[in-house]
Chain A
């Protein structure tokens, strides 16, 4: 089923919000890091993994989720966090390491946690699989509604933990969906040279569950496939596997020279940028007017600007607070 007009507006709004957020972060990230690029400096230190280009996966899936549903994400989490409804202001503050951040600055960009919308992410490959399966198990055991979605990259399917979690979800028939964001690259190593099969949903057969691959980073097709998988999970019919061909328009991390990419690959990807594509389609389908989409974009920009302003103006975390929150209070 095609996304409704309302869904499409929501999807577009969240894609644009995510893109504006990443653009703002990208610009600020380089403050204090020139002329010599040193990751330790500037208002946003540390590694930074941007999600530009991968927005369709986040919105196509999260359009079907409510705050009670559980999402685990990766080291590249901002688009999914935004689509899942994570507090943008507090997320920005966390990325700046501020006291007002989601975790008071303890986590940072790879460790975004928002309990209000059941969102968590982590920095090591395939780590979110077990926790998402566990959340699905918990819902089933408690007779509570809600599904769990683990977003992983295509490189994660070569981790042992990925297979173990898939099998567990299948053998216990849990309300779990694994969504693979196939951006073709694990840092510098291509999917082609690291994975034995081209289509990771072939692996669904190993667990006796449905698997569907979406080509072309298409938010409409992602929305449809995710809708089916999530409805199936909600109905108690067990897990599904989805793989989406998506585009990493940024480097693995900011500062990545991307010398491993074939000549011309980046240019070709930018030509397939999903945001202008969706905009054109919505207008062509009569799902939105230019003015409506302009307004959505302006609102997204304003929302991001406000979040960034809050983050910048917030107080630093107190150094000695580093010693707190190790154990439950």
Chain B
């Protein structure tokens, strides 16, 4: 919990601070991407870096994702520690070969002789009517393919620790930050993501989930923006006398199945909240992680609150109809209870 006299940062500033601190002690770390130089990143997560480190280490790129992400793979294998930005995760389509056929596989192909210590930062999420090529999460897409660690912070404290951990990791890490949590007012922003962040450098263990609210009647499991929706739903449920536990996955790969299973074993009920598409994705994986382990812990069938299997519509009423929200989570509990 943040005390009033403690320093609060947005996720954007926490990411920039972590990067700057690491760059001061590790000359191998450098950043590449579109508009990450003087502009400081479209989402603010490289702000101030070019002023301190200059254009040699903070490199604005042409609109050439295949080239600079592929180049990051080569530089990483040659001893550098690149941090690259894919401005919107939706843009993965133009450069996925470099990501999943090279970045993700070269460690394995080389029998571990080549390391690919790079961070791929990318923005996710909708809710501000940016249409179907600028609003996706694609958590499941990235987490599905072996060889990449995948993290997605819900708040600035985790964001800083994950960023430092990602830069120090010898494996490629996909760092998925939600636009609605960045603290950029022009996108609207979730206040709960801006929290106390220590000045000093620290790491958060990749692959470790957090119980961010304890409860005994139902486990609500989510990531990123979904954690905030889950916490709001938990408050509503509390007023109805229902004690909801909220699990923040923090990392998608490795997935901390132990924490999920322990929570559901305690509560007996599971609701998964995911802003990514419903089918073949994160929400199904969480349910399977529980049921294939021990289905007897469940007092009722698990529920999923996820984006329906349609491209993300532009019109606000349509998009909001599709997005997960606290009311839908409460409704899922009501259905579960009635079943």
Contact = CB atoms under 8 A, between A and B. Distances in A.
Interface in A1-52: 36-41, 45-47
A108 interface: yes
A195 B315 contact: no
A189 B35 contact: yes
Of B34, B35, B319, most A-chain CB atoms within 10 Å: B319
Interface in B143-191: 185-188
A187 B39 contact: yes
A322 B185 contact: no
Interface residues of A, number: 51
B30 to A, nearest CB: 17
B203 interface: no
Interface in B306-331: 308-311, 313-322
B94 interface: yes
B215 interface: no
A131 interface: no
A249 interface: no
A40 B66 CA distance: 31
Interface stretch (B122-130, B225-233, B286-294): B122-130
A38 B186 contact: yes
A46 B132 CA distance: 11
A45 to B, nearest CB: 4
A134 interface: no
Given A111-B132, A156-B63, A321-B318, A326 B313 contact: no
Nearest to B60: A189
Contacts, number: 157
A255 B186 contact: yes
Contact of B130 (A47, A104, A326): A47
A316 B134 CA distance: 22
Contacts of A101: 315
A103 to B, nearest CB: 8
A110 B318 contact: no
B67 interface: yes
Interface string A311-329: 0000011111111001000
B39 A188 contact: yes
A123 B126 CA distance: 15
Given A45-B316, A188-B38, A189-B35, A37 B186 contact: yes
Contact of B66 (A123, A160, A193, A322): A160
A155 B62 CA distance: 7
Interface string A68-101: 0000000000000000000000000010011001
Contacts of B186: 37-39, 255
Given A40-B187, A187-B42, A123 B134 contact: yes
A122 B130 CA distance: 12
Given A40-B316, A186-B63, 11 more contacts: A41-B188, A94-B314, A105-B318, A106-B314, A107-B131, A109-B131, A126-B94, A159-B64, A159-B94, A160-B66, A260-B38
30 contacts: A37-B186, A39-B130, A40-B128, A45-B129, A46-B128, A46-B129, A46-B134, A97-B314, A97-B316, A101-B315, A106-B318, A107-B314, A108-B130, A108-B314, A111-B132, A125-B63, A155-B62, A159-B66, A160-B94, A186-B34, A194-B62, A195-B62, A260-B38, A260-B39, A316-B317, A317-B318, A319-B317, A319-B321, A322-B318, A322-B321
Interface of A: 36-41, 45-47, 94, 97-98, 101, 104-111, 122-126, 155-156, 158-161, 186-189, 193-195, 255, 259-260, 316-323, 326
For the complex of A and B, list the 4 residue pairs with the smallest distance between their C-beta atoms, beginning with the closest.
A108-B314, A105-B315, A97-B315, A319-B321
